[in-house]
Amino acid sequence: MRAILALGLIGTAGNAVAQEANPSGQDAAIVVQGQRDRPSNWRQAETDHVVVISDGSEKELTRIAHNLERLHFLLSVLLNRVDRPDNTRKLRITLVGNGAEFDAMDLANLRYSPGPYARAFPEPAYYDPREDGAVFAASRFDQKALLEPGQSLANILPDLVRATTPAADPAAGASGENPGTAAALAAGQAGSIARFGREDPLALSVNELAVPISAEGRIYAGYARHFLVTYFPHAYPRWYVDGFGELFATMAAEGDAKIEYGRAPDGLRKVLDRYARTPIADVLTGRYLSDRKAAERWTPLHAWALTHMLFFSNTRRGQLHAYLASIAAGESMERAAAAFGDLGKLQAELAAYDNGKLPFEQMSYPADRAGEPIVRRLTEGEAAFVKGRLELGSRVELPPASGDPKLDKARRDAIAHRDDWLRSLRRDATRYPANLDAQLLLAEAECRSGNGTECAAAAGKALAIAPGNGDALAWRGIAQTRIALAAPAADRQAMLKSARVTIARANRADSENPLPLLAYYRSFADAGEVAPDVAIEGLMKAADTVPAAPAPRLLLGEALAARGSTIAARGALLPVANGPYGSPEALPARALLATLK
């Protein structure tokens, strides 16, 4: 078994703000004002490391969730993390229906931008490493990458029929001699797909060049990328994180005994033959990211081929490790690429790599290391806010004010879009006054939109439903902080003290929740006060709980830099400043890094 290359995680765990744990386990779905909420078509499957929600079949959901737990164990073996302590938040995965339904949510990827890939390979997924836990969403339907469109049978056959069918006898129709099909085929090309229907065999295309995009493959690839940046949070080149995910997209399990990875994806040969390869030097140095030509010839399968070759090569693996270590330490990709030596030789190796049988590996494992998921059906009230939870990040995060007329217009448009969405969410929350998910989502949306009073009201409704709920207490404390900062100076300290008492209660309710830890630190930082040691320790724990989230790492970097801990600050900031996909936090992280010696 090979050891996959990732860089070791340096723990920064600190003491919690409070150690008492009393998580609220109240289930708002059981009793809602004395009545059971009706079951929906959505189900949730939970394992030790993921929570998967889907409106598909229970069998499909169970298989995917179980395979994700198997994949987690496989990655833990390959990266030497088996049986290590793990206090990270579970990845929340939502599987939506078809592509149109997924697109309708208009999820803007602010912290996830794979590729850039040729236009035939759009990324049908959404990923956001949020500060209270990462979320991932994708369609649960297979798709295809159309390399070259063909011709529709519904357009071709009418011409063939007209050329081969004798002139119709007017009496034939009266006798019922098969007038229907010939008449339909000869009726002309316009609107033929609509007439036959897209699922009709006559709507198929001939001479089409396409490769399948497996929905499950996208999910497994997404989880592998999340695993890498969560358990080994360092600065990585984008192509490597992309390729690392693709390496596990073809993961397959055989019963409860074997699991394989690294098998070549369907259509690899077609894609590599179809597209001119991006020069390997441009990929390893990162120049391809700003090359428009590269965006038309680089694909997920190219990322797979490069990563697969370097991983399975005994001679190149050490070079890859040196390359990644240099980038993680803050070196430029241009200099790091020197670890591979002659890049022309590497280019030739990659060009010849797919000519023979490509390797893959199998691993046997005990079934109890990847347990079956626990599945339950969501209520209609819970299901009503599944998509809203996903949409939240795209709606409340706004472009910064810049002074540039075009950018400022984009900001005004985003504010208008957010306000429309928020009004709709308020109406929906009013329809479900006794639904905990509704009130918590509204509280978060209000607080993250700067509406302290409204956030406090929604948090109060959530606490009426579930007294002592950690999230509800946290949002009430955050709302109280916002209100205090806007209050007259004479009242501010007393109000901030009250807010911190509420936040401490939230921490005691759930000591592993990063939300109260971040809220406690921000109550000092936003007030311009020096945060006490316990707040810094809580910030460290929050960053350990959601390692892939850039916001806690930026806060931690700022706090450590202010205390003169330069090396520790650089360690916190580098994954944000030089991360594979960028984020709104990247620019301030780079600016702060530039001030550190």
- pLDDT for the residue 424: 94
Q: Which long-range contacts (CB under 8 A, 24 or more apart) does 78-86 make?
A: 78/1, 78/2, 78/3, 78/4, 79/3, 79/4, 79/6, 79/231, 79/232, 80/3, 81/231, 86/49
Residue 200 above 50 pLDDT?
A: no
**Beta-carbon contacts of residue 269 (< 8 Å; ≥ 6 apart):** 354
Per-residue pLDDT of 220-232, as tens digits, reads 999 999 999 999 9
Residue 290 above 60 pLDDT?
A: yes
- State the pLDDT confidence band at 152, using cuts at 50, 70 and 90: low
DSSP-based helix, strand, coil % in the chain, nearest 5: 55, 10, 35
**Hey, what amino acid is at 554?**
L
- State the pLDDT confidence band at 401, using cuts at 50, 70 and 90: confident
pTM of the model: 0.85
Per-residue pLDDT of 310-324, as tens digits, reads 999 988 999 999 999
- pLDDT for the residue 26: 41
Q: Is 473 in contact with 443 (CB distance < 8 Å)?
A: no
Q: Is 213 in contact with 140 (CB distance < 8 Å)?
A: no
The partner residues of 193 in beta bridges, in order of sequence, read: none
Report the chain's mean pLDDT, rounded to a whole number: 86
By the 10 Å C-beta count (0-12 exposed, 13-18 middle, 19+ buried), 476 is classed as buried
Per-residue pLDDT of 426-438, as tens digits, reads 999 999 999 999 9
Least reliable range by pLDDT among 148-152, 244-248, 499-503, 528-532: 148-152
- pLDDT for the residue 464: 97
Share of the chain above pLDDT 90, in %: 69
Phi and psi of 362, rounded to 5°? -120, 150
- pLDDT for the residue 25: 41
Q: Is 130 in contact with 546 (CB distance < 8 Å)?
A: yes
CATH, domain range 39-146+212-369: 1.10.390
Alpha-carbon dihedral sign for residues 360, 364, 370, 372: positive
Per-residue pLDDT of 52-100, as tens digits, reads 999 999 999 999 999 999 999 999 999 999 989 899 999 999 999 877 8
Considering only CA atoms, which of 240, 296, 234, 238 is closest in space to residue 271?
296
Residue range 369-390: average pLDDT? 92
Residue 32 above 50 pLDDT?
A: no
- Residues 122, 124: Cα–Cα separation, whole Å: 6
Residue range 445-461: average pLDDT? 97
Per-residue pLDDT of 274-287, as tens digits, reads 888 889 999 999 99
Q: Is 308 in contact with 243 (CB distance < 8 Å)?
A: yes
**Hey, what amino acid is at 204?**
L
The partner residues of 46 in beta bridges, in order of sequence, read: 51, 374
Residue 34 above 70 pLDDT?
A: no
- Residues 203, 214: Cα–Cα separation, whole Å: 22
Q: Which residues of 378-409 are buried (b: 16+ CB within 10 A; e: fewer)?
A: bbebbbbbbbbbbbbbbbbebbeeeeeeeeee
- Residues 522, 500: Cα–Cα separation, whole Å: 10
Least reliable range by pLDDT among 396-410, 474-488, 553-567: 396-410
What's the residue count for the chain? 597
Share of the chain above pLDDT 70, in %: 84
**Per-domain residue ranges for the chain?**
39-146+212-369
Per-residue pLDDT of 120-144, as tens digits, reads 998 789 999 999 999 999 999 999 9
Residue whose structure tokens are 């289930």: 27
- State the pLDDT confidence band at 406, using cuts at 50, 70 and 90: confident
Phi and psi of 410, rounded to 5°? -60, -35
**Beta-carbon contacts of residue 130 (< 8 Å; ≥ 6 apart):** 393, 546, 549
Eight-state DSSP code of residue 233:
-
- pLDDT for the residue 28: 40
Residue 3 above 70 pLDDT?
A: no
Q: What's the angle, vertex CA 356, arms to CA 350 and CA 358, rounded to 5?
A: 80
- Residues 216, 206: Cα–Cα separation, whole Å: 27
Compare 20 and 556 and report the one with higher pLDDT: 556
H or E element that contains 388? helix 386-396
- State the pLDDT confidence band at 153, using cuts at 50, 70 and 90: low
- pLDDT for the residue 150: 73
Residue 202 above 70 pLDDT?
A: no
Residue range 517-529: average pLDDT? 97
CB atoms within 10 A of CB 118: 20
- Residues 425, 125: Cα–Cα separation, whole Å: 24
Eight-state DSSP code of residue 187:
T
- pLDDT for the residue 566: 95
- pLDDT for the residue 205: 63
Task: Indicate the Cα dihedral angle 456, 458, 461, 465, nearest 10°.
Answer: -120
Q: What does each C-alpha distance from 384 to 40, 51, 241, 397, 432 come to in angstroms? A: 9, 17, 34, 22, 9
CB atoms within 10 A of CB 180: 9
- Residues 300, 583: Cα–Cα separation, whole Å: 21
- Residues 476, 499: Cα–Cα separation, whole Å: 8
Strands of the 361-364 sheet, one edge to the other: 252-254, 258-261, 361-364
- State the pLDDT confidence band at 7, using cuts at 50, 70 and 90: very low
Compare 124 and 305 and report the one with higher pLDDT: 305
- Residues 452, 109: Cα–Cα separation, whole Å: 26
**Hey, what amino acid is at 145?**
A
Per-residue pLDDT of 90-123, as tens digits, reads 999 999 987 788 888 888 899 999 999 999 998 7
SS3 181: helix
The answer to whether the bond into 122 is cis (omega within 30° of 0) is: no
Considering only CA atoms, which of 109, 101, 174 is closest in space to residue 393?
109
Most confident range, picked from 176-185, 205-214, 303-312: 303-312
Q: Which residues of 271-302 are buried (b: 16+ CB within 10 A; e: fewer)?
A: bbebbebbbbbbbbbbebbebeebbbbbbbbb
Residue 5 above 80 pLDDT?
A: no
- State the pLDDT confidence band at 177, using cuts at 50, 70 and 90: very low
- pLDDT for the residue 583: 93
Alpha-carbon dihedral sign for residues 342, 343, 344, 349: positive
Residue 524 above 90 pLDDT?
A: yes
- pLDDT for the residue 124: 80
Residue whose structure tokens are 């590996």: 361
DSSP structure string for 65-133: HHHHHHHHHHHHHHTT-TT----PPPEEEEEESSHHHHHHT----SS-------TT----EEEE--TT-
- pLDDT for the residue 398: 87
- State the pLDDT confidence band at 407, using cuts at 50, 70 and 90: confident
